[in-house]
């Protein structure tokens, strides 16, 4: 009966978001209340449970998401992203533009949220398409595959960051494993798959081709690359030092402090504010206005994460965690594969990778502890599953269709298949990694 109640709760969440177009945050709260009542939580405990769940998850993520959004915005408006792209083009030449696009998408996708990265990079894709008379999908898909992979696999993006905290995983190790999976996923779903798409008819709208900043207004090459990659450098460096050297207690505590994702994002934000802002003669008022807009842009993500925390707390307080774990363990499916399957099903039904990842996280958490599954790999398994088969209920699907001026059929054959390849390659990579780590 407990599992039936949980299944109905998840189905209700899917219906509210997908069929009735309710925003995920109130949908999560309604479902949390329904789940609490149906699972026998005392009526006077429901409101405190929701508040506790929201508070617990936001206490760890609010700084990370807010500073991450502001950092990404500075990378964009300063011209650093444009500089990175132009340098990559000069390095590889016209014959390897497709691979350059993939690399640029990967670099840009690390600090930028997916939607920002998409809008920022599409003008670059179209300018290359018009300049070299190349097929738009053939050139653009590798870059967008890279943006998608970083969004689903790598911290400090919202869903993988939330899953790291939820599963008590190690942010640095998850990032290292994520890189190991991201590279083959991007190559296969990007340049390799795009070879079959050269004849897909696409006439991208010239309206979306924006003017670049003049060269003398762009930051330097080293400044642009170093600042964009600084979060990754700090996370990997502090993790490497902690796991490689025997350090004094004082140094160890200092590295623990510096390796905290919230602290890392605070450091790189203020560094970017100086290196790409003040040092480049940008007015502080303008920079702060951009940062304010960036936080507004991620407000919905913050609310979705908060709602998922409420549902998780209801599952915890009603004592269903053990029953979920026992039931799932009875299935002849490895835990990592099970996490992927659940996330993929929710993603296909709801359309949101963030909702799919966070909902799966609350359901799969007890299984991690009971089966001693590596939490870092589970973050990646769920993240990969949350990217599976984007279709008409996903805003990313429509962005790709409209920007590239494709039919729905061709969008499914290109975008939807690309996302599914990323998810499948991610699962295979996680299972292979589980054999050696």
In the chain the first and final C-alpha atoms are separated, in Å, by 37
- How far apart, in Å, are the Cα atoms of 195 and each of 173, 203, 227, 232, 416? 33, 18, 33, 31, 16
The confidence band for 316, taking pLDDT boundaries of 50, 70 and 90, is: confident
Among candidate residues 176, 98, 185, 93, the one with its CA nearest the CA of residue 136 = 98
Res 325 pLDDT > 60: no
Lowest mean pLDDT among 49-53, 201-205, 212-216, 415-419: 201-205
Q: What is the mean pLDDT of residues 34-54?
A: 93
Flag whether pLDDT at 327 surpasses 70: no
Cβ count within 10 A of residue 90: 10
Structure tokens at 232: 């990754």
Q: Model's pTM, two decimal places?
A: 0.74
Tokens 């990313």, residue located? 396
> Given pLDDT bands bounded at 50, 70 and 90, which one contains residue 206?
low
Nearest to 189, CA basis, from 431, 424, 434: 424
Side-chain-side CA neighbours of 343 within 13 Å: the count stands at: 36
Is the pLDDT at 380 greater than 70? The verdict is yes
- Where is pLDDT greater, at 157 or 131? 157
Ranking 74-88, 108-122, 157-171, 331-345 by mean pLDDT, the lowest is 108-122
- Whether the pLDDT of residue 181 is over 80: the answer is yes
Q: What percent of the chain has pLDDT over 90?
A: 35
Residue 423 confidence (pLDDT) above 90: yes
**Per-residue tokens: 290:** 């951009």
Percent of the chain with pLDDT over 70: 94
Compute the distance between CA of residue 381 and CA of residue 383 in angstroms, rounded to an integer.
5
From CA 312, how far away is CA 360, in angstroms rounded?
Answer: 10
pLDDT at 29: 95
State pLDDT tens for residues 120-148.
Answer: 677 678 767 776 778 899 999 999 999 99
99-108, 158-167, 264-273, 319-328, range with the lowest pLDDT: 319-328
What number of H helices and E strands is found in the chain?
Answer: 22, 0
Instruction: Decide if pLDDT at 329 tops 60.
Output: no
pLDDT tens, position by position, 92-112: 876 788 888 898 888 878 877
pLDDT band of residue 430 (cuts 50, 70, 90) is very high
Choose among 194, 84, 102: nearest CA to 144. 102
């Amino acid at each position: 009966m407990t599992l039936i109640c949980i299944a109905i709760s998840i189905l209700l969440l899917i219906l509210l978001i997908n069929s009735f177009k309710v925003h995920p945050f109130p949908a999560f709260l309604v479902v949390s209340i329904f789940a609490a009542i149906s699972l026998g939580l005392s009526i006077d405990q429901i409101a405190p449970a929701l508040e506790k769940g929201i508070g617990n998850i936001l206490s760890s993520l609010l700084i990370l998401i807010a500073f991450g959004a502001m950092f990404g915005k500075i990378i964009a408006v300063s011209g650093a992203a444009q500089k990175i792209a132009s340098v990559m083009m000069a390095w590889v030449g016209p014959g390897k533009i497709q691979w350059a696009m993939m690399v640029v998408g990967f670099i840009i996708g690390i600090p930028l949220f997916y939607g920002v990265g998409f809008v920022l990079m599409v003008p670059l894709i179209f300018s290359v398409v018009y300049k070299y008379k190349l097929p738009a999908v053939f050139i653009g898909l590798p870059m967008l595959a890279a943006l998608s992979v970083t969004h689903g696999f790598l911290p400090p993006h919202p869903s993988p960051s939330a899953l790291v905290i939820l599963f008590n995983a190690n942010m640095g190790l998850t990032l290292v494993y994520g890189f190991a999976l991201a590279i083959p996923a991007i190559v296969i779903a990007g340049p390799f798959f795009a070879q079959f798409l050269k004849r897909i008819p696409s006439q991208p709208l010239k309206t979306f081709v924006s003017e670049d900043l003049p060269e003398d207004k762009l930051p330097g090459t080293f400044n642009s690359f170093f600042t964009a990659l600084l979060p990754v450098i700090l996370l990997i460096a502090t993790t490497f030092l902690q796991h490689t050297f025997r350090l004094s207690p004082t140094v160890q505590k200092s590295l623990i402090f510096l390796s905290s994702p919230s602290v890392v994002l605070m450091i790189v934000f203020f560094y970017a504010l100086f290196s790409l802002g003040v040092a480049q003669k940008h007015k502080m008022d303008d920079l702060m206005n951009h940062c304010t807009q960036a936080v507004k842009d991620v407000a919905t993500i913050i609310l979705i994460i908060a709602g998922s925390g409420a549902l998780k707390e209801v599952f915890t307080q009603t004592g269903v965690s053990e029953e979920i774990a026992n039931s799932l363990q009875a299935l002849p499916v490895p835990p990592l594969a099970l996490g992927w399957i659940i996330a993929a099903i929710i993603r296909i039904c709801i359309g949101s990778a963030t909702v799919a990842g966070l909902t799966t996280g609350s359901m799969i958490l007890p299984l991690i502890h009971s089966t001693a599954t590596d939490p870092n790999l589970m973050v990646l398994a769920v993240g990969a599953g949350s990217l599976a088969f984007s279709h008409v209920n996903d805003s990313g699907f429509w962005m790709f269709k409209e920007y590239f001026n494709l039919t729905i059929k061709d969008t499914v054959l290109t975008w939807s298949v690309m996302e599914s390849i990323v998810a499948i390659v991610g699962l295979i990579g996680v299972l292979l990694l589980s054999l050696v780590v």
